[in-house]
Amino acid sequence: MAASVCRVGSSVGRALAKTRNPILLSLRRGQASVSYAQSLVGAPETQLTALDNGFRVASEDTGHATCTVGVWISAGSRYESEKNNGTGFFLEHMAFKGTKKHPQTALEQQVESMGAHLSAYTSREHTAYYMKTLSKDLPKAVELLSDVVQNCSLNEADIEQQRNVVVRELEEVEGNLQEVCLDLLHATAYQGTPLGQSVLGPSSTARNLTRQDLVDYINSHYKAPRMVLAAAGGVNHEELVGLAKSHFGGVSFEYEGDAVPVLSPCRFTGSEIRMRDDGLPLAHIAIAVEGAGVSSPDVVPLMVANAVIGSYDLTYGGGKHLSSRLARLAVEENLCHSFQAFHSAYSDTSLLGIHFVSDKHHIDDMMHWTQNAWMNLCTTVTESDVARAQNTLKASLIGQLNGTTPNCDDIGRHILNYGRRIPLAEWNARIDAVTPRMVRDICTKYIYDKCPAVAAVGPIEQLPDYNRMRSAMYWLRF
């Protein structure tokens, strides 16, 4: 989330700043915990610097003996075409097969000798390569990351080997019905647009990609203004900027023929997709409407609304005393095995929805009460509902302080999304500003009388007709 506005100029100043940190003070005094207010005040600021080529460097210094550092890139399946869908995911696999300077064995030995952990992920809009290591090894970590990102060898033999690996992963994902259901939800909600494509892509892409396809993908997307070097933990920002200049200062910011990749508008379509399989024991069903993009002021009220609905799993304690009304109904009426409200947000759109797992006899009832929960957000949400949801969100925010890796990921993604990292105190103020009236108005804007997207997998004979689900978005309000 946020860029820094303050930098402590000397090592003495930094030491004094750390001494005043209430979280560190509490540890020195032997306190077992700190208050929520102390956590907000004690959260270190994120410093942000841009190099001459547009490459950005962002860091958060917590004074730990370890750190996580990585490169976040505006590249993912949304930037791919139907022909090359899955290229970014395939390239992620190739990153660890060695570079021109460090063959695979040498790269693995370097990482292991540091006691570090090197990883990567690809999403619909972002790609990340990151390493968790000791703070003293930050220079070596940045050097290795730079080599992995800029000088991947893309050996033909390795490409052929990875084809089989990627195909096997695709087969494994097909066994994860929740992932299948949510991918199908994107496919129907954003049909005919890049956002409807899965991150992994089809097996045909893995079988037919060439080395030149991978080179073209890198040349198109791995440009300095689309990249962020993020770090969290025991990190000196000035040192990190110096390392970035040495290893990323030469990254190109120019495009051939000015062919700058841009996100094409993604049209939401109210629709459904069903994969009926009566041989499966449980059905996975997701229903969603189009929500706000990540930068919209409507995002926080929608987050509060989702927290009001909450989540449920059979393993939860509490039973009929759970705070979520939908969860209490799930227990009392045996409606489902689990459900989860979600908000999959992208740069200019999002899916605001609920995913649930149910046996074939309770699908109709669970869908009715799921949509009823949405209508309640538009009409009857109360002060106590909102207060509980606000506390849930705040607890989640503080949970992000637990570890350098989630903090680093947060920095990288939000510099790409917002151009800055929003401080915890600002998130807290935005959450506190949400009122029941605001929740009702925003939810009415996005939910009431809207065409939903629905995806269902498994024994789904009892799933209501789409037109019935669509009409419920209107009639359940009365």
Residue 477's pLDDT is: 67
Angle of CA points 240, 244, 249, to nearest 5°: 160
Mean pLDDT of 171-182: 94
Residue 396: what pLDDT? 84
CA 322 – CA 335 distance, rounded (Å)? 15
Q: Parallel, antiparallel, or unpaired: how do β-strands 66-73 and 56-61 relate?
A: unpaired
What the block records as the tokens of 347 is 């740069």
Could you name the CATH architecture of 271-475? 2-Layer Sandwich (3.30)
Across residues 212-225, what is the average pLDDT? 93
Domains 11-251 and 271-475 share a fold: yes
- For 34, other C-beta atoms within 10 Å of its C-beta total 18
If pLDDT is split at 50, 70 and 90, which confidence band does 8 have? Answer: very low
pLDDT of residue 5: 31
Summarised one tens digit per residue, pLDDT across range 128-175 is: 999 999 999 999 999 999 999 999 989 999 999 999 999 999 999 999
Question: Under a CB-based contact definition with an 8 Å cutoff, are residues 118 and 133 in contact?
Answer: no
Closest CA to 231 of 320, 130, 301: 130
User: Of 33-47, 88-102, 387-401, 456-470, where does the model show the most confidence?
Assistant: 456-470
List C-alpha distances in Å: 163 to 96, 199, 470: 14, 16, 42
Q: Return the higher-pLDDT residue of 14 and 388.
A: 388
Q: Is the pLDDT assigned to residue 39 strictly greater than 80?
A: no
pLDDT at 318: 74
As beta bridge partners, residue 291 has: 350
141 and 116 Cβ atoms separated by less than 8 Å: yes
Beta strands across the sheet bearing 338-345: 271-276, 453-458, 283-291, 350-358, 338-345, 311-313
Residue 364 has pLDDT above 90, yes or no: yes
- Which segment of 33-42, 102-111, 190-199, 261-270 scores lowest on mean pLDDT? 33-42
pLDDT at 257 (0 to 100):
67
C-alpha dist (Å) from residue 47 to 128, 413, 423: 19, 15, 11
Interatomic CA distance for residues 473 and 478, integer angstroms? 10
Lookup result for tokens 């570890």: 403
Distance (Å, whole) CA 313 – CA 206: 36
User: Is 45 known to be catalytic?
Assistant: no
Note the pTM of the prediction, 2 decimals: 0.89
Domain positions in the chain: 11-251, 271-475
Please, what is the average pLDDT of the chain?
Answer: 89
Residue 18 has pLDDT above 60, yes or no: no
> For 395-399, 428-432, 434-438, which range has the lowest pLDDT when averaged over its residues?
395-399
* Separation of alpha carbons 406 and 400, rounded Å: 6
Under a CB-based contact definition with an 8 Å cutoff, are residues 456 and 283 in contact?
Answer: yes
- Per CATH, the number for 11-251 is 3.30.830.10
For the segment 230-274, what is each residue's pLDDT rounded down to a tens digit? 999 999 999 999 999 999 999 988 877 667 777 778 899 999 999
* Model confidence at 127: pLDDT above 50: yes
**pLDDT attached to residue 320:** 78
pLDDT over threshold 80, residue 95:
yes
- 3-state SS, the chain, equals CCCCCCCCCCHHHHHHHHHHCHHHHHHHCCCCCCCHHHHHHHCCCEEEEECCCCCEEEEEECCCCEEEEEEEECCCHHHCCCCCCCHHHHHHHHHHHEECCCEHHHHHHHHHHCCCEEEEEECCCCEEEEEEEEHHHHHHHHHHHHHHHHCECCCHHHHHHHHHHHHHHHHHHCCCHHHHHHHHHHHHHCCCCHHHCCCCCCHHHHHHCCHHHHHHHHHHHCCHHHEEEEEEECCCHHHHHHHHHHHHCCCCCCCHHHCCCCCCCCCCCCEEEEEECCCCCCEEEEEEEEECCCCCCCHHHHHHHHHHHCEEECCCCCHHHCCCHHHHHHHHCCCCCEEEEEEEECCCCEEEEEEEEECCCCHHHHHHHHHHHHHHHHHCCCHHHHHHHHHHHHHHHHHCCCCHHHHHHHHHHHHHHHCCCCCHHHHHHHHHCCCHHHHHHHHHHHCCCCCCEEEEEECCCCCCCHHHHHHHHHHCCC
Please give the average per-residue pLDDT across 324-333, as a whole number.
92
Which pLDDT value is given to residue 453?
98
pLDDT tens for residues 292-325?
999 999 999 999 999 999 999 988 877 777 888 9
Q: 402 or 201: which carries more pLDDT confidence?
A: 201
Q: Are 94 and 170 in contact (CB under 8 A)?
A: no
> Residue 464 to residues 180, 278, 365, 373, 474: CA-CA distances in angstroms?
20, 16, 10, 17, 16
pLDDT for residue 383 is more than 80: yes
Choose, from 92, 125, 272, 290, the residue flagged as catalytic.
92
